[in-house]
Amino acid sequence: MGMRFKELEMHNFGPYLGTQSLSFGIKRPLMLVHGPNMTGKTSLLNAIRWALYGHALNRFGKPMTLMHLINSEAYESRDWIMSVEVSFEVDGIQYNLERRIQPKDSSIPPRVDNDFEVKLFLRRDGRHLDAGEVQTEINRILPEQTSRFFLFDGELLNEYETLLATADKQATLIKESIEHILGVPALMNAIADLMTHLRDAARRQQNLAKQDHKAQIYAAEAARIESEIATQEKDLAELRVHHEGLERRQNDLDDTLQAVAGIEADVIRLQDLENQVRGLRDEQQRLRQENRDKLTDAWRDIIQPKIQRHLAILEEESNKQINTLQRVGQLQTELRNIEHLLTLGVCPVCGQRQTESSFPGYQTRKNELEDEFAGLEFDQQRLTQASESIRKLREVKPSYAIETVTNNEKRLLRIGVDLADLEWKIDEINDRLKSHDRSEIARNRRTYIEVTKELGILEKAITEKKRVIDGLQDQASRNRANISAVSGPEMQRLNREVQLCEDLTSLFARAIVRLRDDLRKSVEQDATDIFLRLTTDKSYKGLRINEHYGLTIIGADDREVEVRSAGAEQVVALSLIGALNRNAIRQGPIIMDTPFGRLDPKHRENILKFIPTMAEQVTLLVHGGEIDRSRDLEGIKDQIDKEYEINHPSSRRSELVTVGALDTV
Amino acid sequence: MAIEDNVTVGLTEETHAMLQKMKADGIFNEMQDGFRFGIAFAIARGLIAPDSLKLRTFLNVGSLDKDGSLRNLITELYPKASGRPYSIAERLAEAGLAELGRLHENDQLRFGEIYKAIVETT
Amino acid sequence: MRETPNALKILLEERERGLQSIPAELVKTIYQIEVRVQFDEMRPEAPQKIRQALKIVLDKEALEGASNGNAF
């Protein structure tokens, strides 16, 4: 038997404008809804959650307000009614649940959740339940605590395992949820009820014993012990309340401190960055000043190329004149010598007599020289001028300042870039820091340490108190035995009653220990079976379970596998879900949102084959990239009853559309 | 011609404003540093402003050219100046600073690059 | 096919280990009472029903003349 969903109808819920509905798999186990992310798959999950428990969760697992849930287009067109209707079947009984909200005053637009009134209707086999009974009935069928095991978000599967691996508050809650599914509470409740009854019977015993003189002493003693136990239990209850309160405070502080863990590091970094900026700005100022100073003389360097060009021309002219002058000198000397020779017949240089026959040669030479002489033009003025110009131009000497300026400019460019980068980083850090008050952080840290210390002390006190109470219970039990020794049929019956309660309490206590153990082993065995079917790594031997229902993978050498891929995490979590479902008192339907997010094709294939066997009814909400309809669904198409697609005509609206059977696609 | 040379030199209103801005932006220590640089820049690049511009004088030639080397330089490079080197100096400064001012306005004033360009093209 | 661990089965097995003085029927009854209401926030019915079940057993024993501590 078990439970199955039948139909879901939503009106103005989340992205679904107007009325949208779908049917679950009845003839066959599987129903699929395809849709891209952010178009409404998670809203389907939330619709069911909201209908059943009045809570819908956002991406971060936090509750959403009604104002956020109601479709925004509907709201703007003044349609302020939102509802979800779910029909389901439990052990053959037909249920129809509707949760609806409407404005308290239909003429004013509701602005906060309080402006709405919530109505809840539940029909069982056609008959309406009283308003007060509805939520109780729902919790009886599908308790909210256990909803995380049948309405779950595939994306969170990864975190699931990490949660179970630690022993903190969250893990304890999950462990309690698991035990809930597996029926452990029934036994614990039985013990509590039996102990209450035991105390009542013991009291009646005492009253009866008061009538017998011998037993009076024991009765008095019993009364004293009981009064003492009552006082101690009251103290214990107070200690527990105090402890709970402190634990909550500690968790809050822990959350706050976690959030600001990075702050101190930021402060140090900020100081370092600011120092760097100061250093660079100083250098910037220094270089800029140096450049200004150098530019006073840099004009001389700028002008050098032009000056050099002019100097080149002037020097050429100057050299030309000097060469001409030199040649003039040479010619004059030689002409004089020839004149002398021709006139006196003696060489002026060596003093020797020259023969008359050499005279024509000399004469010719003399003519040549005189011709050359006539052609030479020496301009003294031009030479003087050129020299003067050269002198003046050379007055403007290079200063080489321009080289320094150039290098400084390069460095300044670099500094500009570095400063911009540093300033951007500083802004980032300041943004982070400005929302935090540093003295408050220090205070929180101190308080956290104090609270932790106090918790330690409290825990010791609680343990001690429990020990004292146990001691007193033992005393009470021994005392009862004494009372029982007093005979009489009425007393005998009372004795028997007390005995039964004590024995039953023992029995149930023993049973709890064994049940937890057996259940864990059974869940471990089932989870291992499933895991080995799903995993693609042949070296894995199985799974091992710890006392918090956390699972570790056992590898080839019988050792725990430490590092697990995201895909392995999902597979382990799915194995746990499947195992829990098999061991649960009542089998429930399963609705999974993006179960294949992080899995490779081979894992996906294994899981697709396994899913229809996980429960009587399995609904998958998948996005396009996860499943290739033509390829992945081929192997299980005969298990699929219905298929839907989410259309997204606008950013604020989605629609559910039936998809034809796989064969006709 | 018997026109005498300038005793003071200046720039157009617009170019004067640009030079003031460059001083305010920390490029030059003094206006005369810029003026001198403008002259050198114009000489190097072969720029000169026309004779007809209306200039507002603000600098004494004695402060500009203490040792007279600037005057000698201009006389040498511009022989047709015919005895009015400071008048030429004014026109050179106007042309040079107009160009430098424009570069500065567009954030493109890099002396290193200016020098490199001058060396390469002379 | 392996069976899921069953709380009732475990209770009855543990009873065999020295707690046979408890009538098996009583164990079954109490267990079923608790299971039916285990998920309710308030379970006002359970203690009363348990009280009734105990009364029935005690009455039965009185009728059959059973005495303290006899095994059943």
Q: Would the CB atoms of C27 and A140 count as touching at under 8 Å?
A: no
Q: Report how far residue A320's alpha carbon sits from residue A313's, in angstroms, rounded to the nearest whole number.
A: 11
Q: Are A475 and A489 part of one and the same domain?
A: yes
Q: Find the range with the poorest average confidence among A159-173, A644-658, B66-80.
A: A159-173
Q: What pLDDT shows up at residue A50?
A: 93
The pLDDT score that the predictor gives to residue A583 is 74
Percent above pLDDT 90 for chain A: 35
Q: What is the pLDDT of residue C34?
A: 86
Which residue of chain B comes nearest to A412, CA vs CA? B110
Q: Which chains border B (3 or more CB–CB pairs < 8 Å)?
A: A
ipTM score: 0.94
Domain that holds residue A39: 1-26+35-142+625-630+641-665
What residues have CB less than 8 Å from A493, skipping those under 6 apart? C58, C62
CB C5 within 8 A of CB A583: yes
A504 vs A62, higher pLDDT: A504
Closest by CA to A6, choosing from A43, A31, A36, A37, is A31
Kindly state the helix (H) or strand (E) to which residue A592 belongs, with its residue range: strand A590-593
Give the phi and the psi of residue B78 in degrees, each rounded to 5. Answer: -125, 75
**Closest-CA residue to A195 (of A469, A541, A501):** A501
Q: Is residue A59 part of a domain?
A: yes
- Span A184-194, average pLDDT: 87
From chain A residues 248-307, the ones with a CB under 8 A of any chain B CB are 288, 291-293, 295-296, 298-303, 305-307
User: Testing the interface with A: which of C2, C11, C15, C28 to mutate, by most A Cβ within 10 A?
Assistant: C11
| Partner residue facing B44 (CB), from A293, A302, A392 | A302
Tallying the residues shown for chain C, one arrives at: 72
Q: Is the pLDDT of residue A173 over 90?
A: no
Residue C41 has pLDDT above 60, yes or no: no
Report pLDDT for A220: 85
Task: Please give, rounded to a whole number of angstroms, the shortest distance from the CA of A204 to a CA of chain C.
Answer: 14
Most confident of the following: A100-114, A641-655, C58-72? A100-114
Question: pTM (2 decimals)?
Answer: 0.50
Between A543 and A154, residue with greater pLDDT? A543
Kindly determine whether residue B115 and residue A299, on different chains, have CB atoms separated by under 8 Å: no
Q: Which residues of B touch A313 (CB under 8 A)?
A: none
Domain shared by A3 and A116, yes or no? yes
A551, β-bridge pairs: A545
Mean pLDDT of A449-475: 94
What's the whole-number mean pLDDT along residues A348-374?
87
- The 3-class SS string of A115-157 reads HEEEEEEEEECCEECCHHHHHHHHHHHCCHHHHHHCEEEHHHH
What is the distance between the alpha carbons of residues A391 and A411, in angstroms, rounded to a whole number? 38
Instruction: Look at strands A618-622 and A30-34 and give their pairing.
Output: parallel
Q: Chain C contact for A190, CB < 8 A?
A: yes
Q: What is the CATH number of domain B8-121?
A: 1.10.1220
Using the structure block, give the residue that is written with the tokens 């009855």.
C12
Contacts with A495 from chain C: Cβ below 8 Å: 68
**B25 within 8 A of B109, measured Cβ to Cβ:** no
Q: Say whether A493 and C2 touch across the interface (CB within 8 A).
A: no
Q: Contact, A594 vs A44, CB < 8 A?
A: no
Q: Are residues A485 and A450 in the same domain?
A: yes
Phi/psi at A650 (nearest 5 deg)? -145, 175
- pLDDT, position A382: 87
Tokens of B22: 């460059």
Band (A605; pLDDT cuts 50, 70, 90): confident
Mean pLDDT of chain A: 84
Domain count of the fold of chain A:
3
For residue A79, is pLDDT > 70? yes
| CB proximity C24 to A under 8 Å | no
| Minimal-distance CA residue of chain A relative to C47 | A193
Q: Specify the amino acid at residue A200.
A: D
For the stretch A14-51, pLDDT in tens is: 889 999 999 997 888 888 888 877 667 788 889 999 99
Q: Closest approach of chain C CAs to the CA of A480, in angstroms?
A: 14
A214 has pLDDT over 80 = no
- Report pLDDT for C71: 41
Q: Are strands A116-124 and A640-650 parallel, antiparallel or unpaired?
A: unpaired
Q: Which residues of A touch C43 (CB under 8 A)?
A: 189
Question: Two tokens at A202?
Answer: 């013991």
Q: Assign C67 to helix, strand or coil.
A: coil
B16 — pLDDT class (breaks 50, 70, 90): very high
Per-residue confidence band for A163, with pLDDT thresholds at 50, 70 and 90: low
A256, A305: one domain: no
Q: Which of C14, C34, C47 sits opposite A507 (nearest CB)?
A: C14
Beta bridge partners of A654: A16
Which domain-ending residue is among A375, A398, A430? A430
Give the mean pLDDT of A269-293.
94
Question: In a 3-state reduction of DSSP, which class is residue A295?
Answer: helix
Would the CB atoms of A511 and C47 count as touching at under 8 Å?
no
Average pLDDT for residues A496-513, to the nearest whole number?
92
A497 touches chain C (CB under 8 A): yes
- Is residue A508 in a domain? no
Q: Which residues pair with A153 in a beta bridge?
A: A593
Q: Hey, which chains touch C, using 3+ CB pairs under 8 Å?
A: A
Q: Is pLDDT at B1 greater than 50 in this prediction?
A: no
What one-character-per-residue DSSP string does B67-88 give? Answer: TSHHHHHHHHH-GGGTT-HHHH
Contacts of B40 in chain A (CB under 8 A): 299-300, 302-303
Q: How does residue C33 score in pLDDT terms, banded at 50, 70 and 90?
A: confident
A305, A308, A405 ranked by CB distance to B112: nearest: A405
pLDDT in tens, B23-33: 999 999 999 99
User: C40–A139: do the CB atoms touch at under 8 Å?
Assistant: yes
Q: Which of C13-51 are b and which e, b meaning 16 or more Cβ less than 10 Å from the residue's Cβ? A: ebbeeeeebbbeebbebbbebbbebbbbeebeebbebbe
Give me the pLDDT at residue A553, please.
Answer: 84
pLDDT recorded at residue A665: 35
Contact B33 A296 (CB under 8 A): yes
Interchain proximity A392–B75, CB inside 8 Å: yes
Given a contact cutoff of 8 angstroms between Cβ atoms, the answer to whether B65 and B71 are in contact is yes
Q: How far apart are CA A150 and CA A577, in angstroms?
A: 8
Determine the pLDDT at residue C72: 38
For CA atoms A327, A333, A335, A338, the dihedral sign is negative
A397 touches chain B (CB under 8 A): no
**Regarding predicted confidence, which is higher, B33 or A545?**
B33
B11 closest CA partner among B41, B29, B38? B38
B73 in A contact zone (CB under 8 Å): yes
Mean pLDDT of A507-522: 88
Together in a domain, A136 and A2: yes
Q: Has residue A348 got a pLDDT over 70?
A: yes
**What's the rounded Cα separation, in Å, for the pair C8 and A568?**
36
Residue C5 to residue A504, Cβ atoms within 8 A: no
Mean pLDDT computed over A134-159: 73
More confident residue, A547 or A110: A110
Mean per-residue pLDDT, A531-548: 83
Per residue in A375-386, pLDDT tens? 888 888 888 989
Question: Cα–Cα distance between A241 and A472 in angstroms, integer?
Answer: 22
pLDDT at A661 over 50: no
pLDDT reading at C39 higher than 50: yes
Range of A203-207, A237-241, A565-569 with top mean pLDDT? A237-241
pLDDT of A1 reads 55
In this complex, the residue of A299, A389, A407 whose CB is nearest that of residue B36 is: A299
For residues A241 and A339, membership in a common domain is answered with no
pLDDT at A149 over 80: no
pLDDT for res A609: 81
Looking at per-residue pLDDT, the higher value among A600 and B75 belongs to: B75
Q: How far is B76 from chain A (nearest CA, A)?
A: 6
Q: What is the length of chain B?
A: 122
Chain A residues in contact with B39 (beta carbon < 8 A): 299
Chain B residues close to A389, C-beta within 8 Å: 76
Q: Other CB atoms closer than 10 Å to residue B117's CB: what's the count?
A: 13
Q: Give mean pLDDT, residues B77-97.
A: 89
In chain B, what are the domain boundaries?
A: 8-121
Give the strand pairing for A151-153 and A542-545: unpaired
How would residue A658 be classed by pLDDT, with cut points 50, 70 and 90?
confident
For residue A509, tell me if it sits in a domain. Answer: no
For C51, nearest residue in chain A (alpha carbons): A197
Name every residue whose Cβ is closer than 8 Å to that of residue A301 and which is 6 or more positions away in sequence.
A398, A399, A400, A401, A402, A403, B115
Cβ pair B26:A288 closer than 8 A: yes
Alpha carbon of A82 to those of A69, A76, A121, A651: distances in Å?
9, 13, 14, 19
Query: Same structural domain for residues A12 and A129?
Result: yes
**CB-count burial class (<10 Å; 0-12, 13-18, 19+) for A324:** middle
Nearest Cα of chain C lies from the Cα of A1 at a distance, in angstroms, of 16
Q: Do A306 and B37 touch (CB under 8 A)?
A: no
Query: What's at A366, amino acid-wise?
Result: K
Q: Residue A233: is its pLDDT beyond 60?
A: yes
A360 in the same domain as A344: yes
Q: Specify whether A425 is located in the same domain as A318.
A: yes
Mean pLDDT calculated for residue range B53-60: 88
Q: Are A446 and A409 part of one and the same domain?
A: no
What is the structure's pLDDT at A664?
37
Q: Which of A102, A121, A124, A123 lies closest to A113 in space, CA to CA?
A: A102
- Please name the residues in contact with A389: beta carbons below 8 A apart, sequence gap of 6 or more: A310, A314, B76
At least 3 CB pairs under 8 A between chains B and C? no
Confidence category of residue A439, pLDDT binned at 50, 70, 90: confident
User: How many Cα atoms sit within 13 Å of A225 on the Cβ side?
Assistant: 23
Measured between beta carbons, which residues in chain B are less than 8 angstroms from residue A407? 112
A618 within a domain of the structure (yes/no): no
Q: Are residues A423 and A464 in the same domain?
A: no
Question: From CA A451, how far away is CA A573, in angstroms rounded?
Answer: 35
What is the percent of chain B where pLDDT is above 90?
A: 65
